[in-house]
């Protein structure tokens, strides 16, 4: 066991301050952006990202489709950069999300979108990045330097900037004040007791992560962190899809991590967790409510969309501990580096 204070742990602990700073600093920019885009007739929204940033976009798909009523599609950079395809992106809001803003394929794909007439919004942590130069509007993450290979504070900052965009664009009187309370909730999320499954996960080779709606983006991110920091083969599924085949793997203590926010998906996700247990799965559910066996506590009375960043905050603390239990260094996973440059 390495048993050191990792950069991953330190940077996760910085997240509440990052989000507080970001929400204040970006408010005026987002109000100006929202006025501009309310006056345009976009046909759809396209997101463009890789890795953890793409998982933030999976979260945003639900937030934006629910909030502003436009379809959100994931643009595959390889269509233009590798295959030379041309996609009609006129009258499209194109959101490029990247922690570094330096991956060649994202830059080329965003340039192609701009040439097609898309309105470009760039979400990035580095104001000097070449991706930012292509933006009609730049939304900084304000996360500060992130040195651990595993993205933590930059991922949660990506979630919150997308939440603030949706809230201001849609004039959401419920979500806007909820975001003001989020930094304190993230601070408490650092101290939530998610210790029960650490030994089980640390000794597992395979597991599922499950969420529904915007929670699916969180499940994707959790699966990635298990793979990259702990070398556990984790697969993420939507709670609406997992019965279409993958459910047959669950038996005899197979580990399952479920993210369950208090929204319209609450009942169906709870029923699915019970089905996993009936089939013998070792099921752990992140949810609000009474503590109990298999329940990973999440603060109640939070806007359901804000519950998800808080869940990720608690998950990162747990994931870092699991990595250490496996005798691994969460800051230096094998075969990986901080900036991935895909062409």
Buried b (16+ CB within 10 A) or exposed e, 161-200: bbbbbbbbbbebeebbebbeebbebbbebbebebebbeee
Torsion of CA 265, 268, 272, 274, to 10 degrees: 110
C-alpha to C-alpha distance for 58 and 201, rounded to whole angstroms: 25
Provide the annotated active-site residues: 338
Distance CA 261, CA 66 (A): 15
Task: Provide the 3-class DSSP secondary structure of residue 45.
Answer: strand
How far is the C-alpha of 97 from the C-alpha of 59, rounded, in Å?
Answer: 12
Contact 148, 331 (CB under 8 A): yes
For 111-134, the DSSP string reads: HHHHHTTPEEEEEES-TTSGGGGG
Torsions phi, psi for 27 (to 5 deg): -60, -50
Alpha-helical (H) ranges within the chain are 7-13, 15-38, 51-68, 77-81, 104-115, 153-169, 175-189, 198-202, 215-230, 266-278, 304-325
């Amino acid at each position: 066991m390495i048993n050191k204070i990792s950069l991953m742990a330190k940077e996760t602990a910085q997240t509440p301050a990052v989000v507080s700073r970001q929400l204040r600093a970006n408010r005026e920019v987002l109000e100006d952006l929202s006025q501009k885009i309310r006056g345009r007739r976009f046909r759809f929204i396209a997101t463009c990202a890789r890795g953890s940033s793409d998982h933030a976009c999976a979260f945003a798909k639900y937030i934006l489709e629910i909030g502003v009523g436009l379809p959100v599609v994931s643009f595959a950079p390889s269509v233009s950069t590798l295959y030379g395809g041309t996609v009609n992106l006129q009258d499209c809001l194109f959101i490029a999300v990247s922690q570094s803003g330096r991956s060649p394929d994202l830059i080329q794909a965003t340039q192609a979108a701009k040439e097609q007439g898309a309105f470009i919004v760039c979400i990035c942590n580095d104001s000097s990045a070449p991706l930012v130069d292509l933006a009609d509007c730049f939304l900084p993450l304000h996360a500060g330097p992130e040195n651990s290979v595993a993205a933590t504070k930059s991922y949660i900052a990506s979630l919150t900037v997308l939440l603030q965009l949706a809230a201001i664009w849609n004039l959401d009187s419920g979500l806007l004040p909820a975001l003001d309370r989020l930094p304190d909730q993230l601070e408490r999320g650092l101290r939530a007791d998610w210790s029960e499954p650490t030994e089980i996960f640390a000794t597992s080779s395979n597991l599922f992560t499950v969420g529904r709606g915007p929670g699916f983006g969180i499940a994707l991110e959790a699966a990635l962190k298990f793979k990259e920091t702990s070398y556990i083969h984790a697969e993420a599924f939507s709670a609406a899809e997992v019965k279409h085949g993958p459910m047959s793997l669950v038996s005899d203590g197979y580990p399952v991590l479920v993210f369950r926010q208090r929204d319209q998906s609450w009942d169906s996700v709870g029923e699915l967790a019970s089905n996993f247990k009936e089939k013998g799965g070792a099921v752990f559910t992140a949810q609000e409510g009474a503590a109990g066996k298999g329940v990973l506590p999440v603060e109640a009375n939070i806007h359901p969309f804000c519950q998800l960043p808080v869940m990720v905050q608690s998950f990162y603390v747990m994931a870092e501990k699991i990595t250490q239990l496996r005798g691994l260094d969460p800051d230096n996973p094998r075969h990986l580096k901080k900036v991935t440059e895909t062409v």
